[in-house]
Amino acid sequence: MRKDVKLADIAKEAGVSIATVSKVINGRPDVAKATRSRVEKLLDSAGYQKSLINTSKRNSIEVILERIDSVWSLEILQGVSEMAQENGLSVTLTMTGSDNEDRNQSWIYGTLERRPIGVIFVLLEGKEKEKHLLTSRNIPFVTVDSRGEAAGDSVTLRADNWTGGLLGTRHLISLGHTHIGIITGPKNMTCSRARYDGHCSAMSEAGIPVDPALKRSGKFTEDDGRTQALSLLTTDHRPTAIFAGDDLQAMGVYEAARQLGISIPGDLSVVGFDNIRTSEYLGPALTTVEQPISEMARHAVELILQMRDGRKVQKETVFPTRLIVRNSTELLHQTRG
């Protein structure tokens, strides 16, 4: 990547003014789409990379996510904000508003214009064009808990979801449960698959067959947790325990049990995942697998600071998960007598 590309040459070849080229470089919105695309291609072929002059004047980190639709996202934002404030930085929040492959990429130009010291993608992987534009402007980026498999060129943070699935299921098995229902998250999410694989491994090591009839999949929401739990709990041979894909789904399990007159943990043991701040205040307090949400968020900021200073960082960081035992689980002999 070269920093000595002459903008006058790019402007001449593109048939535009130097000012227009400068607008494209700085992410200004007042450039026609076709013109922007033509200039970007020329900058790319010339190997342009924005100079780091005035980098010291930049004082914000930008967090990119599709939407704020869970307590988990809020806790990530809280962790990022705390770490940023400790380092004299502000935080800008940008929402792309779509989770499909064709999501609108117009947000990237606003980010380029703001020139943050770095970008944190939350629950999504940046598209190749987005990442290329950030790299060409010397804006480092980190991905926290990507939905899919992270690209090899990304710096990523995630929790050890497989071990979390193992620990939650082992706990239920240790209490005598063998007829265990499980509600996973969306099938296209890597964390959902990893948690389910951990669950299956725990069942296998205990010599307990995995019953496909006891598996449900849904979104990481209370409503989906309730819907899937009602489906499990109204079968002829309902489970004695349910492992929910996250704490929000577990809250939905609580509501389904209430509607059906099923006592937790008297008739049904429940395990969640995440250990969001509200989980210990449920009635009863939720047994859950903790992923260190705040620590992950703070480390994302730390990585951005290291990359800003030109330091090499580890491409992937996996944070350990641990079981938090509270009052929503108990021995099966107490459950069914």
pLDDT-derived band at 47 (thresholds 50, 70, 90) equals confident
What pLDDT, in 10s, does the model give residues 180-218?
999 999 988 999 999 999 999 999 999 999 999 999 999
Torsion of CA 274, 266, 251, 288, to 10 degrees: 0
What's the rounded mean pLDDT across residues 256-284?
96
| Mean pLDDT of the residues in the chain | 89
Nearest to 144 by CA among 110, 164, 119, 162: 119
pLDDT-derived band at 21 (thresholds 50, 70, 90) equals confident
What's the rounded mean pLDDT across residues 286-295?
96
- Domains of the chain in start order, with CATH, are 7-45 (1.10.260.40), 57-159+293-320 (3.40.50.2300), 161-291+323-336 (3.40.50.2300)
**Beta strand pairing call for 155-159 and 316-319:** parallel
Is the per-residue pLDDT at 23 higher than 50?
yes
What's the rounded mean pLDDT across residues 230-245?
96
Give the per-residue pLDDT at 104.
61
Compute the residue count for the chain.
Answer: 337
What's the rounded mean pLDDT across residues 42-63?
71
pLDDT-derived band at 319 (thresholds 50, 70, 90) equals very high
pLDDT-derived band at 35 (thresholds 50, 70, 90) equals confident
pLDDT-derived band at 55 (thresholds 50, 70, 90) equals very low
Nearest to 251 by CA among 166, 328, 159, 168: 328
Both tokens of residue 92?
A: 């800008």
- Its pTM stands at 0.81
